[in-house]
Structure 1
Amino acid sequence: MNAVVTGIGLAMPGALIPSDLTTGTAVGAAPVDPAARIGKKGLRHQDRATQLALCAARDALNSAGLMLGDARMSTQRGGAPVVDAELLVPAESVAVVVSSNFGNLDSVCEVVAAISADHGTRLISPVLAPRLSSNVTASELAIRFGLRGPNVMVCNGATSGLDAVHWATIWLSSGRARHVLVVGLEPANDVVRQLLGHDQPLDGAAALLLETTKAAAGRNAPALAGVDGYLRTGG
């Protein structure tokens, strides 16, 4: 077994901790409030997908013992943003893989609609531009938590989440990273509902912290689960 899970984080209606997944229900549960979880500072210009990912990722990093602090953002005198979080391992050793199929699609559609209505980009705010990149969520996680390892976004259909975990194991086995933050998320918004035809698609995120067995043992971090084989077939 080359990789183990040492941290878990959730940001789902009715599921704040892993045990809620077997006892709770998303039906009728209140939506996740990212501002209550990690503070509203720094969230104003983030799309829903990124906000959910930040919540789940923060909890996974903390539960794995890789980070201390609640990752709330504040502003120093002079305007420089500060994040209340201390990474306990080298920043270059922590990679990020994010999986989502509809992540920032609402932001893209918003901009397309504005361009169509105005026949140009005059109405597009500069702060919206970063949200148009498909890898915006993975990038924001790296920025917020100071993670400088490999960084990628996976948009791969129904298997995206499992593929993201596989990417993590590749980086671990190849030595590209010693720890990998894996986040899967899907937001619920009008764009997603129109595409899926569902009244209420799941609005949430889940995060795992994977690391090599050697890295986990070196930190005396308990292994919550092991990750071994992976098989992908077509048809």
Structure 2
Amino acid sequence: MPTIDRRAVITGIGVVAPGAIGRDPFWTLLRNGVTATRIITAFDADRHRCRVAAECDFDPIANGLTHREARAHDRVTQMALVAADEALRDSGLTIDGELAERTGTAVGSAVGGTTTMEREYTVLSDGGEHWVVDPSFATPHVHDYFLPSSLAASLARRAGALGPAAVISNGCTSGIDSVGYALEMIQRGEADVMVTGASDAPISPITLTCFDVIKATSIRNDTPESACRPFDRNRTGLILGEGSAILILEEAEHARRRGAHIYAEVAGHATRCNAFHMTGLSAQGAEMSEAIDHALSKARLNPTDIDYVNAHGSGTKQNDKHETEAVKRSLGEHAYRIPMTGIKSMIGHSLGAIGSLEIAACALAMQNKVVMPTANLFEQDPDCDLDYVPNIARDHDMKAVLTVGSGFGGFQSALVLTDLELAGRG
């Protein structure tokens, strides 16, 4: 069972995001409210309902991978490796000897190697002409593209981590839940360090088609830079994104002994499933509220201790109202007194990766004492009646932050970050 005596802190952050490769450019983009959504360039999307996405201008070779590494890994793993390299440098850790045995890996992804798998099938089937394919035309790495577990294995090899390794694939809450799993590994004494976070590269014809079918994506193709409008009266849906955020999570005393820079403590995590509908959400937000309540309980915080909420903020009609109600249900009148913003308005929805990108953003916001804005919020929906910090960042001191996520299949997750010395937490 988790023990209250072992606490986990973030000592390293690495980011590959739309419009920003690296932790510092990522923070600058968010602080300035810059949107990275644009007409898709990765493939010809002219026949799709939605033709907008938040793409990463990511070159694996230019960002430190060898030609062999780039060939061996799908884009989802390439981005994770680059983010992990930055996170490890940031942490100042050298993982070897006994520490390697005490270092684990927990990484989230919703769709894994979809991009390369789709490309390989196109090659093997000669553009869909042949039902029976010739495997001799396949790359020798196709097996790794197919297995989600290869993502965790590749990160473990990169970091030299010999402890527990896992891939968490809970759809759009994967990036929160992977960090929650890493927290539990440290609390239980299974590891002293966890290389954690998430990565996803879903911008491909097959993924875009899936979202077209259910009409979840925005139809604002004529204004791609403002296509995603969380909490706005005129929002029309989400915008796909891609990217990776890798965090170094470390047992607090281990980090203190070596004088590590600590961004924040990961103080509590909870996840629930609404067992309701594959894509539908109840208007009252009860399931997300329950996840919030349990995360606060694990963090030993009261609702009034929360200083800021990072919203899921996908920009769909039902989600924005659902989580607004969930936050009010859990935080009560205090919800009206604190800011709540959605960064998907700027970097899109990278499915399994977004939860970790948002955790990284929250840690940076706490460090810089600045709340990121909700971009493209021009006319607030009356049904969404909280303070969403429209378009311009705001100075704000934060000791405790709540970030929430909602995923297809009914997944509802919440995670709390705090200042390590927050009063009342021991």
Name the TM-score class by shorter chain: 0.7 to 0.9
Secondary structure at the counterpart of residue 80 of structure 2:
helix
In structure 1, what is the Cα distance between the partners aligned to 2:58 and 2:136? 33
Q: How far apart are residue 128 of structure 1 and its match?
A: 1.9
Contact map agreement 1:179 1:209 (CA 8 A) in 2: yes
2:245 aligns with 206
1:1-235 superposed matches below 5 A: 2-15=7-20, 16-18=22-24, 19-20=27-28, 21-23=30-32, 24-27=34-37, 31-41=57-67, 42-67=69-94, 90-110=99-119, 114=124, 117-119=131-133, 121-187=135-201, 188-197=203-212, 198=217, 201-235=240-274
Contact map agreement 2:56 2:242 (CA 8 A) in 1: no
Higher relative contact order at CA 8 Å, sep ≥6: structure 1 or structure 2?
1
Aligned-pair RMSD on alpha carbons?
2.5
Secondary structure at the counterpart of residue 228 of structure 1:
strand
Amino acid at match of 1:27: T
List per-residue Cα deviations over 1:185-212 (Å, max 9, x = no partner).
2212333222233586212111111111
In structure 2, what is the Cα distance between the partners aligned to 1:106 and 1:32? 14
Amino acid at match of 1:25: T
Secondary structure at the counterpart of residue 145 of structure 2:
helix
Q: How far apart are residue 56 of structure 1 and its match?
A: 0.7
- Which consecutive unaligned segments of at least 5 residues does structure 1 have? 68-85
In structure 2, what is the Cα distance between the partners aligned to 1:99 and 1:30? 18
> Which protein shows a greater Rg?
2
Contact map agreement 1:66 1:88 (CA 8 A) in 2: no
Q: How far apart are residue 108 of structure 1 and its match?
A: 3.6
List per-residue Cα deviations over 1:99-147 (Å, max 9, x = no partner).
1101212334445553664345343333322221111111111122322
Amino acid at match of 2:208: R
In structure 2, what is the Cα distance between the partners aligned to 1:22 and 1:186? 23
Contact map agreement 2:75 2:116 (CA 8 A) in 1: no
Question: For residues 30 and 149 of structure 1, do their structure 2 counterparts lie closer, same or farther at Cα, with a shift above 3 Å needed?
Answer: closer
Q: Give % identity.
A: 29
Question: For residues 64 and 145 of structure 1, do their structure 2 counterparts lie closer, same or farther at Cα, with a shift above 3 Å needed?
Answer: same
TM-score by length of 1: 0.81
Amino acid at match of 2:71: R
Between 103-112 and 36-45, the greater mean CA deviation after superposition: 103-112
In structure 1, what is the Cα distance between the partners aligned to 2:98 and 2:210? 41
1:83 aligns with none
Amino acid at match of 1:7: G
In structure 2, what is the Cα distance between the partners aligned to 1:234 and 1:119? 39
